[in-house]
Each structure stands twice: as C-alpha cells, then as structure tokens.
Amino acid sequence: MIEYSDFEKVDMRIGVINAVDDFPEALKPAYKLTIDFGPGIGLKHSSAQITNYGKEELISRKVVAVVNFKPKQVANFISEVLVLGALTSNGVMILGVYPDAPIGSRIS
C-alpha cells in the first residue's frame, strides 16, 4: 500500500496533442507525440504505445499525462511525459477528459 502523500507526488495534468509522428525505431509500436500543457509546463514529448488509434483521431485530443517523471530515452527519442490509459486486449484505451477541462489542470 502507498500513503496518500506518495500519490500527491505524482503530477498528472491535462494536455492536448498537437502533433503525432510515426516512431519506427521503437521496439514496440508507438507514436511520437507533442503535447501542449499550457503556460507553466508548455510543450512536452511522449513516446506512446497507442497505435490502436489513428493519427487523425489523436490530433487535438485531450489526454491525462504524468509530467514529473524523469525523461526516458526510447530508442533515439526522449520521452518526457507518460500518457495514461487502460491496458486492454485491444491496446491502450486513453483516459477520457471532459472537453471543457482546461489544459494544464492538475488531476487530484
């Protein structure tokens, strides 16, 4: 079990996907994402194994991501944030965000 104080250390924010690029160098199928978290955090990059979505479905989509992990190198790319989703037999299902939720909002 973790303490509530441990959960408070995880900084999850709402962002909007601005760009989706193929990532053929990744060992597992993935996209390179550019996500805007608004003033204060700005643009961040993520390697996300969400290729069960089409690129056109992802552009302008709001997502929840952990923004305070240490950057992680994935092949030749630095992934700065972790997009959250549910692991299913059909791939990762991105967590839903209400359309009116402002980017940069902290999840608690």
Kindly report, residue by residue over 5-43, the tens digit of the pLDDT.
Answer: 999 999 999 999 999 999 999 999 999 999 999 999 999
CA 67 to chain centre: 8
The pTM score is 0.95
**From CA 54, how far away is CA 98, in angstroms rounded?**
20
Q: For residue 65, what pLDDT is reported?
A: 98
Q: State the residue for tokens 């990532």.
A: 23
Q: For residue 34, what pLDDT is reported?
A: 98
Domain boundaries along the sequence of the chain = 11-94
Class of domain 11-94: mainly beta
User: Which residues are within 8 A (CB) of 65 and not within 5 positions of it... i.e. 6 or more apart?
Assistant: 12, 13, 15, 35, 37, 44, 46, 81, 82, 83, 84
Q: Stretch 77-93: mean pLDDT, rounded? A: 96
**From CA 27, how far away is CA 68, in angstroms rounded?**
24
Cβ-contact 45, 79 below 8 angstroms = yes
Kindly report, residue by residue over 49-84, the tens digit of the pLDDT.
Answer: 999 999 999 999 999 999 999 999 999 999 999 999
3-class DSSP state of 73: strand
Q: For residue 104, what pLDDT is reported?
A: 97
Read off φ and ψ for residue 48, nearest 5 degrees. Answer: -130, 130
